[in-house]
Amino acid sequence: MSLSKQTDQWDLEIQPESSFFELNWRELWHYRDLILLFVRRDIVSTYKQTILGPIWFFIQPILTTLTYVIIFGNIAGISTGGVPKILFYLAGITLWNYFQECLMKTSDTFILNQNLFGKVYFPRLAIPISIVISNLFKFFIQLALFLVAWVYFLLQAESPIQPNGTLALFPVYLLLMSGLGFSFGVLISSLTTKYRDLRFLIQFGVQLLMYGTPIVYPLEIVPDKYRLLLLANPITSVIEAFKYSFLGQGYFSWFGLGYSLIFMVICLFLSILVFNRVEKTFMDTV
């Protein structure tokens, strides 16, 4: 009898989560070393077999900026509000690239790691969290590129930019963009385990979202009847606040940042809620 009782006791029981409140954050912290290993893997593997290696982190934003300058700045003649074109476009794509990378890579979490998930147990959220962290490496390299251009124009005799005290909010901007990218990506990855068609819409949807965000144009040139629609995009207020802080031109609103924060929290709650429900059977549907 005692032997039967002893065999019924397990050191570890793995059960599917059923609600947001049952998510084991302590377990994620316990697996922090694994998350750091995933971070290292993401950074090393991205450009491991390339000729230029990490230099691509600089080449991509430079080529994108030059393309925007030629097409939108020179050919289309879209105003940048008096800000030098190179600096204006760099300011927009620096934050946007981080958001886009977080969303796109996180949205393929289950598809790309299905073999790993089927072999060993660990908190499934460890991989999307590691993606958000590893993308910070690329983000800060591109931010350094932006800061070099920013300092260059700032030190000119008649500087066209006027930074202000809201620069202290930079960590808030970064937190909002990472939270939005993570929550959108987790939600999409949960849905694509069953509805594969969504994968074909992600790239197209992200492209549309970029044009619905004031990156290649200032918000001030948008007609009033469309401006409210753009402000409904939670990324708009963050991008505009970032430009306002560094360039002194743009739309800064505490209400807009508050809206982005609330939107991020709600989306994060819903994405993890859906994730917990999908986690029970995703190995059967992936």
Q: Which long-range contacts (CB under 8 A, 24 or more apart) does 84-88 make?
A: 84/153, 84/160, 84/161, 86/149, 87/146, 87/149, 87/150, 87/153, 87/161, 87/247, 88/218, 88/243, 88/247
pLDDT tens-digit series, residues 258-273: 999 999 999 998 888 8
Q: Which of 99, 107, 131 is nearest to 212 (CA)?
A: 99
- pLDDT of res. 197: 66
Does position 214 have pLDDT exceeding 70, yes or no? yes
User: 7-11, 151-155, 187-191: which has the highest mean pLDDT?
Assistant: 151-155
**Among candidate residues 191, 147, 219, 215, the one with its CA nearest the CA of residue 286:** 191
Between 62-66, 101-105, 106-110, 248-252, the lowest mean confidence (pLDDT) is in: 106-110
pLDDT at 21: 47
Specify the pLDDT at position 23: 60
Torsion (CA) 60, 62, 68, 73 in degrees, nearest 10? 180
Angle at 258 between CA 257 and CA 264, to 5 degrees: 90
User: What residues have CB less than 8 Å from 110, skipping those under 6 apart?
Assistant: 117, 124, 189, 190, 192, 193, 282, 286
- Looking at this protein, which amino acid is placed at residue 257? L
Asked if residue 2 has pLDDT above 50, the reply is no
Tokens 């490496």 identify what position?
137
Task: Map out the domains of the chain as residue ranges.
Answer: 28-45+53-285
